[in-house]
Amino acid sequence: MLYFDFINPYIIYMVIVLLWALATYSLFTYRDFIIKHKSKILIIAAVLLSWTQLVRYVIVVIRDGFILEMHLPFYVCRLSVVVLLYYVITKDKRVESFLFYWGATGIAGVIYPNGPIDNIVNLTETFYIDHFLLGLSPFFLVVYQGYKPVKADLFRITGVMFVMLLVFIPLNNIMNTDYFYLKDRSIVGDIFPNLPTQIIGVPFKDLPSVIFATIHSVVALGFFSLYFFTFKNKIFI
């Protein structure tokens, strides 16, 4: 993978964020052009996403061997990208609600990459391509695919996220992994590095992960709600 050794990674980061903002603006502004070329755009997206998944799950494994701690797609954005690839190939409307809400995490992942902000130096082109396209997917769905957000899905999909995070707390302990960043705790771990590990004096070593899963899901619900209320009454097609 290209690690941008020859370019300042912070410049790459700022350029990607700017390009994402311009692409979002274009989705709402140049509708006639995009409608005319929509099938080609979806093919390009499918090729790019296929390449990133090939690199992440095949080429890297062939090069480095399978590493249980790294090579399964159990992160919010990675799962969302797999579903996005499935959607751009199949146009299966059953996954549109999932992509509308979880797709919103794409830009969140770019704005604040996991861990401290200096983690930007470790981001690769596969990260940027995945999150760039994922972050555009909610807007593409409502503007070009006729998707209308449903309130019930807002709570259902957030609930699925919360349950999945809780399930992976013991699974991470069993596999000695950190999927969904439940041990690292991402930005929550940076802001609150000393979360409690006891409940009324009773030791509970996984309490910080439970707190992180709860905060993560509540913040996601707020983020998803912003998307829902912004587009619930909008008609583009």
Which whole number is the average pLDDT over 198-217?
Answer: 91
The tens digit of pLDDT for each residue in 81-137 reads 999 999 999 999 999 999 999 998 888 777 766 655 566 777 788 889 999 999 999
pLDDT digits (tens, 9 = 90+) for 166-191: 999 999 999 999 999 999 887 787 77
pLDDT tens digits for range 52-65: 999 988 888 888 88
Q: Could you tell me where the beta strands, DSSP code E, fall in 68-226?
A: 198-199, 202-203
Q: Could you tell me how many helices (H) and strands (E) the chain has, helices first? A: 11, 2
Residue 1 pLDDT:
44
pLDDT in tens, 68-84: 888 899 999 999 999 99
The per-residue pLDDT of the chain, averaged, comes to 89
Between 113 and 43, name the one with better pLDDT.
43
Residue 149's contacts (CB-CB under 8 Å, 6 or more residues apart) are 97, 100, 142, 227, 228, 231, 232
d(CA 213, CA 65): 30
Per-residue pLDDT, averaged over 19-24, amounts to: 94
This prediction has a pTM of: 0.90
User: What does the block give as tokens for 54?
Assistant: 């090939």
How many CB atoms are located within 10 Å of the residue 224 CB? Answer: 23
